[in-house]
Structure 1
Amino acid sequence: MILPVLALVLLTVAAGCGKSQSSTPSASDSAASASPASWTEEPKMTIDKAKTYQAVFETSKGSFTVDLFAKDAPITVNNFVFLANQHFYDGVTFHRILETYMIQTGDPTGTGAGGPGYTIEDELNNGHSYEPGILAMANTGDPHTGGSQFFICTGDDSKGLNQPEYAKYSIFGKVSDGMDAVKAIAATPVTTGASGEPSRPTETVTIKSITIKTGS
């Protein structure tokens, strides 16, 4: 009985990540800024693929650090660094939580339907696999539809995303310190949201800030 149930849950998680920016929000799901910043095109490439980049997250449930994969996912990392440096993520909520799979954030409207006003190209098959601690872009389920939303894998069940039919989310980093804070966010109680998925947090969990650190 375990395998069929697990397969069903995997499908739900994968499909949910794919629809994160296109699902219809309800008023009760919104924790929004009235007029979030937006741009008409993706940022110009400014990162150096030969350098190392880290993102230090300060959240309402603790801090953690992510090593960004600039060499393997330069477009996605460049986009994330741009948005973080613009303080786009400051105050943004973790709007979708599935404890054994992932926590999702990056939507300034808090509804699961928001973004930065543009989309970026996918960077799939870049040598990394989905596992706890992995940072990956959310999208609409169609190619090249990532923007600002991303998720962090939180449990071994996230490895199911490595199946070819689900591996459609650009991996661009991994938690290198503070996984306990990520786990604390993942343990936030949830209720059923507008989509019928039990993933809407019953308490507000926010990103206070993201600081980008660059090394040689």
Structure 2
Amino acid sequence: MKLLFIALMVSLTSSSCQDKHQDLEDGLYAEFVTNKGTMVAKLFYEKVPVVVANFVGLAEGTHPKLADSLKGKPFYDGIIFHRVMDKFMIQGGDPTGTGMGSAGYKFFSEFDTSLSHDKAGILSMANSGGYNTNGSQFFITEVPKQNLDGFYADGSLKNCNGRVSCHSVFGELVKGLEVQDSISNVAVNPKNKPLEDVVIQKLNIIRKGDAAKAFDAAKVFTEQEPLLPQKLEELKAKELERIKEQSKEAAANFIKKHADFPGEVKEFPTGMVMILDAKADGIKPKPSDRVLIDCTGLFEDGSFFFSTIVEDAKKYNNYNEDAEKQGAYNAFAMPYNESATLVPGFREAMLNMDIGDKARIFVPSYLGYGAAGRGPVPPNANLIFDIELVGLDKK
């Protein structure tokens, strides 16, 4: 009887909300009734079903991971917006109001590259970093914040296990942007908590149309959330194939551009391309040897980012006298084997060179610094290196 009563109350509330918002097109919506006004967000349940199922399950008290004491209760009702930052976002969903609370569980991230923090009113998951730290907390943007996406502008995925922001977009305000704006402008303390509580008095889920009415949040979360890590790996694999295809064209352009460069063109199955100017009597190092390497690193457009060679640093207007005094312009030693701590494309080139050989190589991004980038190298950058094996390390 208790469960029947709860189901009846949810049905009545939903019907009342739908009557109030008859102008909404078919879809799944969340109505935030706050003490500052009402906002309505459309939920992207077809693109990110698990994140939406999590939110809907909490709002309706049907989430399978809720403790028994919380089941059947609207989780978000009475919760405050505990973190408010003007020209950024408003954040809620923490039952403790401290920013440290949750619904008692965490779940994996879910991304769709068509959904971005590209405007005001974007509803997204808050987390503490990494892929598996989503819970009950969410935020709504006041301005575009695409640096919060789980992918870059070209659609390539970020390495979200690094120190980068990766948040799952799952909705967008279709009503009440002015309410979001008024909340973002309330007075706050030094920790960005409103001085006077901004309360979610009621969070109602509205279903318009047969597809939205058939969306079973508990079932979707139970069945699909365990599949998210594999789904992410599939996205990564698909992304890698896309990058490899793009790199083939870039490698072909590299070869064409360097048609007059001295040396033999060698194309490797990995995607690395080498123009090798081999020394006639070069010594082949043994895997137990350490070799001394001079190199200069360039971006695809020919701009400079690194060199161990004074002349090259000066040539590209990047010479630093203090750096030279500290030994920056000296050949560095590396083991002549797979243990060498070099990006894969550079290491592969080195292992195909003898002492005295020189080479200009093309390193596709996935054999370089990848999606993470490093230092002056941005994410997903193809690189060009001039390399010379100048000798064996006798130390």
Please report the TM-score for the alignment, with normalisation by the length of structure 1: 0.70
Q: How far off its partner does 1:160 sit? A: 3.8
1:136 corresponding residue in structure 2: 124
1:170 corresponding residue in structure 2: 168
CA distance in 1, matches of 2:81, 2:91: 6
Amino acid at match of 2:190: T
1:210 corresponding residue in structure 2: 203
1:29-48, aligned counterparts within 5 Å? none
Q: How far off its partner does 1:161 sit? A: 2.6
Amino acid at match of 2:115: H
CA distance in 1, matches of 2:45, 2:148: 22
**Deviation readout 1:78-103 (Å, 9 max, x if unpaired):** 01001111210011010001110100
1:1-216, aligned counterparts within 5 Å? 52-86=27-61, 87-130=74-117, 131-156=119-144, 158-162=145-149, 164=152, 166-193=164-191, 199-216=192-209
The alignment partner of 1:143 has SS state of coil
In structure 1, runs of 5+ residues without a counterpart are 1-50, 194-198
Q: Tell whether the 8 Å contact from 1:53 to 1:214 is kept in structure 2 after alignment.
A: yes
Q: Tell whether the 8 Å contact from 1:55 to 1:68 is kept in structure 2 after alignment.
A: yes
CA distance in 2, matches of 1:71, 1:56: 19
The alignment partner of 1:91 has SS state of coil
Matched positions, count: 160
Structure having greater relative contact order (Cα 8 Å, sep ≥ 6): 1
In structure 2, runs of 5+ residues without a counterpart are 1-25, 62-73, 153-157, 159-163, 210-395
2:315 corresponding residue in structure 1: none
Q: Which ranges of 4 or more aligned residues in structure 1 deviate by more than 2 Å?
A: 158-167
Q: How far off its partner does 1:125 sit? A: 3.6
The alignment partner of 1:83 has SS state of helix
Q: Tell whether the 8 Å contact from 1:124 to 1:168 is kept in structure 2 after alignment.
A: no
**Deviation readout 1:107-146 (Å, 9 max, x if unpaired):** 0000101111111220124411102110000111121210
CA distance in 2, matches of 1:160, 1:171: 12
CA distance in 2, matches of 1:124, 1:167: 13
CA distance in 1, matches of 2:128, 2:183: 24
CA distance in 2, matches of 1:159, 1:168: 10
The alignment partner of 2:75 has SS state of coil
The alignment partner of 1:191 has SS state of coil
**Deviation readout 1:43-70 (Å, 9 max, x if unpaired):** xxxxxxxx72101110010001000000
Q: How far off its partner does 1:202 sit? A: 1.2
2:246 corresponding residue in structure 1: none
Q: How far off its partner does 1:200 sit? A: 1.8
Which structure has the larger Rg over C-alpha atoms?
2
More helix by share: 2
CA distance in 2, matches of 1:109, 1:95: 9
Amino acid at match of 1:117: G
1:30 corresponding residue in structure 2: none
Amino acid at match of 1:203: E
Q: Tell whether the 8 Å contact from 1:72 to 1:126 is kept in structure 2 after alignment.
A: no
Amino acid at match of 1:192: P
**Deviation readout 1:137-180 (Å, 9 max, x if unpaired):** 01111212101000000124x24434746451110000001111
Amino acid at match of 2:77: D
